[in-house]
Amino acid sequence: ARARLLRAARAGDGAADHALALRALAGDPPDMVEAVARCRRAVARGYAPARALLDQLSAAADPGLLQAATAREPVLDTPGN
pLDDT at 74 over 80: yes
Question: Does residue 26 lie in a domain region?
Answer: yes
Question: Does residue 48 lie in a domain region?
Answer: yes
Question: Does residue 33 lie in a domain region?
Answer: yes
CA distance 13 to 59: 25
pLDDT at 81 over 70: no
In the predicted model, what is the mean pLDDT of residues 13-33? 93
Angle formed by the axes of helices 2-10 and 14-26, to 10°? 140
CA distance 42 to 31: 16
Give the pLDDT confidence score for residue 51 in this predicted structure. 96
Question: Does residue 53 lie in a domain region?
Answer: yes
Question: Does residue 80 lie in a domain region?
Answer: no
pTM to 2 decimal places: 0.86
Question: Does residue 11 lie in a domain region?
Answer: yes
pLDDT at 79 over 80: no
Question: Does residue 49 lie in a domain region?
Answer: yes
> Where in the sequence is the domain holding 28, given as residue range(s)?
2-74
Number of domains comprising the chain = 1
Question: Does residue 81 lie in a domain region?
Answer: no
Render pLDDT for 31-68 as a digit per residue (tens, 0 to 9).
999 999 999 999 999 999 999 999 999 998 899 999 99
